[in-house]
Amino acid sequence: MGIIEMMRLDGKKGFVTGAARGIGKCTATAFAEAGADLAIVDLDIATAEQTAKEIAEATGRKIIAIKCDVTNEAEVQAMVDEVVEKLGGLDFCHANAGICINAAADEMTFAQWRKNLSINLDSVFLTDTIAAKYMLAHGGGSIINTASMSAHIVNVPQPQCAYNASKAGVIQLTKSLAIEWAKRGVRVNSISPGYIGTDLTLSSPTLQPLIAQWNAMAPMGRLGRPEELGSICVYLAGDTSTFTTGSDFIIDGAFTCF
């Protein structure tokens, strides 16, 4: 089989969390364009269903929508079971759901801290381990986690210590799981996007004043586009990356290079 054929995801089944919009929607679209059938997993089921419909119509793949609170163990288990039942298996997943609460550390409530950690880190543990139990029992698979360049730097000028800590945790969790499962056929990698111009970022009134500052600091002078993350995720989900595990891929336009 040639390298181009190996890049395809024909016959593979997967899911993406936080996929109703933004980065998750773009990576889900890329997976489907490469030939995969998958589930759009999100707490906002109405938007998830619309996204699933759009991707299915554009690609001809089987795309389903599943409502899930990724911080709830029982719901994550039920979601994985539904993916396996409706799609016929599970070969890859992208644990992408996340939030960012910007608050100064000395003003942040413990509830805000816990919400950041619960959605950004606890949910990745639940998603990865529950998906892996199926993969380990059925010949292996690929897990992709969304970390952030914020795991490598301290962002300015916005205060976001909880987000930064949670994303650093995602990278270390990724490496730890990769080591545990390396000989058992399950690969675990992460992507660390820089500032990405999602619809939410571009439309947020609180972020608008920051975008010009971010762009002024960025070597490429711009935000990344969500679709610029798709190709690396397709690579990680497919058969050309079978010797790649425990790695973090920084996609930030060289923002963290200085």
Q: Is 258 inside any structural domain?
A: no
> Residue 224 is part of which domain span?
3-251
Residue type, 177: L
Residue 69 pLDDT > 80, yes or no? yes
Indicate if the pLDDT at residue 176 is higher than 80.
Answer: yes
Q: Which one-letter amino acid corresponds to residue 208?
A: Q
- pLDDT for the residue 1: 66
* Residue 238 resides in a domain: yes
Residue 240 Rama label (left phi>0; alpha psi -120 to 50; beta) = alpha
* Residue 112 · residue 101 · CB < 8 Å: yes
24 in any annotated domain: yes
Please list the active-site residues: 148, 163, 167
Q: What is the DSSP letter of 28?
A: H
Asked whether residue 105 is assigned to any structural domain, the reply reads yes
Residue 53: pLDDT over 90: yes
Residue 6 has pLDDT above 80, yes or no: no
CA–CA dist 222, 16 (Å, integer)? 26
Tokens of 251: 């996609």
Q: Is the pTM of this model over 0.85?
A: yes
Please give the residue that has the higher pLDDT: either 200 or 176. Answer: 176
Tell me: the pLDDT tens digits for 188-217?
999 999 999 887 778 777 778 889 889 999
Q: Is residue 256 part of a domain?
A: no
Closest CA to 68 of 90, 40, 88: 40
- Closest among 22, 32, 19 to 66, alpha carbons compared: 19
SS (H, E, C) 159-198: CCHHHHHHHHHHHHHHHHHHHHHHHHCEEEEEEEECCECC
Q: pLDDT tens, 82-124?
A: 999 999 999 999 999 999 988 999 999 999 999 999 999 999 9
What's the structural domain count of the chain?
Answer: 1
CATH number of the domain residue 8 falls in: 3.40.50.720
Helices (H), the chain: 3-7, 22-33, 45-59, 73-87, 110-117, 123-137, 161-181, 199-203, 208-217, 230-237
**Is residue 257, in this structure, part of any structural domain at all?**
no
End-to-end CA distance of the chain: 41
- Verify cis geometry, omega within 30 degrees of 0, for the bond prior to 157: yes
pLDDT score, position 258: 81
Q: What is the pLDDT of residue 162?
A: 96
Asked whether 189 and 174 are in contact (CB, 8 A), the reply is yes
Percent of the chain with pLDDT over 70: 99
d(CA 29, CA 23): 10
Cβ of 199: how many Cβ atoms within 10 Å?
Answer: 11
